[in-house]
Amino acid sequence: MQYQLHDIVQLKKDHPCKKSSFWEITRMGVDIKLKCLGCGTSVMLERIDFDKRLKKIIQKADQTQ
Ligand SMILES: [Zn+2]
């Protein structure tokens, strides 16, 4: 799956806060940084781990920006 910075994604497991199952990609490098849209908590995942957990891309970031 192709994803990029600021995309909104859904992971196979929800964040324990249960407020939202969507995450925003806030940093992409060796690690992927994700922000929970429910509670605002940020987590870092290794890219390989993120690829395994990624379920669906909900919204693509605006590519004109
Ligand atoms: Zn959360």
Note whether 61 and 28 are within 8 A (CB).
no
What whole-number distance in Å separates Cα of residue 61 and Cα of residue 3? Answer: 9
pLDDT category of residue 64 using cuts at 50, 70 and 90: low
Q: Is residue 22 in a domain?
A: yes
Note whether 45 and 54 are within 8 A (CB).
no
Q: Is residue 65 in a domain?
A: no
43 alpha carbon – ligand 1 mean position (Å)? 10
pLDDT tens digits, one per residue of 8-55: 999 998 899 999 889 999 999 999 999 999 999 999 999 999 999 999
31 alpha carbon – ligand 1 mean position (Å)? 19
Q: Is residue 2 in a domain?
A: no
56 alpha carbon – ligand 1 mean position (Å)? 17
15 alpha carbon – ligand 1 mean position (Å)? 5
Q: Is residue 3 in a domain?
A: no
Number of domains, the chain: 1
- Chain-centroid distance, C-alpha 17: 15
What whole-number distance in Å separates Cα of residue 43 and Cα of residue 3? Answer: 17
